[in-house]
């Protein structure tokens, strides 16, 4: 399998669906111009605003985002991850699933995942987050999509990164590339984001593609940035810093095989 370039997109999404999708296309095009064949968008790329506004607009967001992702994948002939956007719950209009989907260059949905770990946390900076107020937790672990050209792709979303057993499941199912699209808070991100992303790569000897949100979105909602791509040894191959942009790096499955031979920890699991 040949090497290829992947991109982790970094955005400052706002409470404005149309603005966000326009920004996302600009960054997808930027990644394509740099040669990326696999592109990931961050969590909340289509809308990042108050939870009440998100739920009220969830039907429109879901419909237009789904169409957007399929159109972009076809237009630019790439595999595209929509890293998390609200999809209404049929029997509970007060909640939506935080959903990630992977689209192929024909505009076909390959796999999807509904976020299972919800961010209900009182952050020491004074902000309180209660994702479960408006998000319905998914009930199933994601399946691994086996791409003949890209590798075995495992999906996750943001807060999942704090649960190593989740990624052990993905690696056990054959994943060698992990997506971790996020909207990590600025306060927790400065201490935890990089080390958690690297840990998930190292312990599973996988590439990690981690798109991210950055900057101020509304009121006191700030995110950390630093979208990155990490190799199976834990080396950071690309880091987008703190401005909107893209982190682009080579995915080399030969390198992955080499690391797994040098450090065969997945074969040594006892439990």
Helix (H, G, I), strand (E, B) or coil at 160: helix
Query: For residues 138 and 115, what is the distance between their CA atoms, to the nearest angstrom?
Result: 5
Reference 112, options 85, 89, 75; nearest CA is 85
**Alpha helices of the chain — where are they, by DSSP H?**
17-33, 51-56, 58-76, 164-172, 186-204, 253-262
* 83 CB burial (10 A radius; 0-12, 13-18, 19+): buried
Strand stretches in 64-116, DSSP E: 79-89, 92-103, 109-114
Residues identified as active-site:
43, 115, 158
Helix (H, G, I), strand (E, B) or coil at 244: coil
Contact assessment for residue 78 and residue 35, using Cβ atoms and an 8 Å cutoff: no
Helix (H, G, I), strand (E, B) or coil at 140: coil
């Amino acid at each position: 399998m040949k090497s290829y370039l992947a991109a982790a997109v970094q955005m400052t999404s706002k409470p404005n669906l149309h603005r966000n999708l326009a920004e996302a296309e600009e960054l997808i095009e930027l990644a394509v111009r740099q040669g990326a064949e696999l592109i990931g968008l961050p969590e909340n790329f289509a809308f990042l605003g108050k939870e009440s506004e998100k739920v009220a607009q969830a039907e429109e967001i879901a419909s237009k985002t789904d169409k957007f992702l399929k159109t972009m994948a076809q237009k630019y002939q790439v595999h595209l991850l929509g890293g998390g956007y609200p999809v209404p719950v049929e029997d509970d209009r007060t909640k939506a699933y935080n959903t990630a989907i992977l689209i192929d260059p024909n505009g076909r949905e390959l796999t999807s995942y509904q976020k299972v770990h919800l961010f209900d946390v009182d952050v020491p900076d004074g902000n309180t987050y209660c994702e479960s107020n408006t998000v319905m937790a998914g009930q199933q672990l994601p399946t691994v999509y086996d791409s003949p050209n890209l590798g075995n792709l495992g999906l996750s979303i943001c807060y999942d990164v704090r649960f190593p057993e989740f990624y052990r499941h993905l690696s056990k199912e054959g994943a060698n590339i992990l997506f971790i699209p996020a909207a990590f808070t600025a306060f927790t991100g400065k201490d935890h984001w990089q080390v958690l992303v690297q840990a998930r790569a190292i312990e599973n000897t996988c590439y990690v593609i981690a798109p991210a949100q950055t900057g101020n979105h509304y009121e006191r909602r700030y995110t950390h940035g630093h979208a990155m791509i990490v190799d199976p040894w834990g080396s950071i191959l690309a880091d987008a810093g703190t401005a909107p942009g893209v982190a682009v790096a080579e995915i080399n499955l030969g390198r992955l095989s080499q690391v797994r031979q040098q450090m065969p920890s997945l074969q040594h699991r006892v439990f």
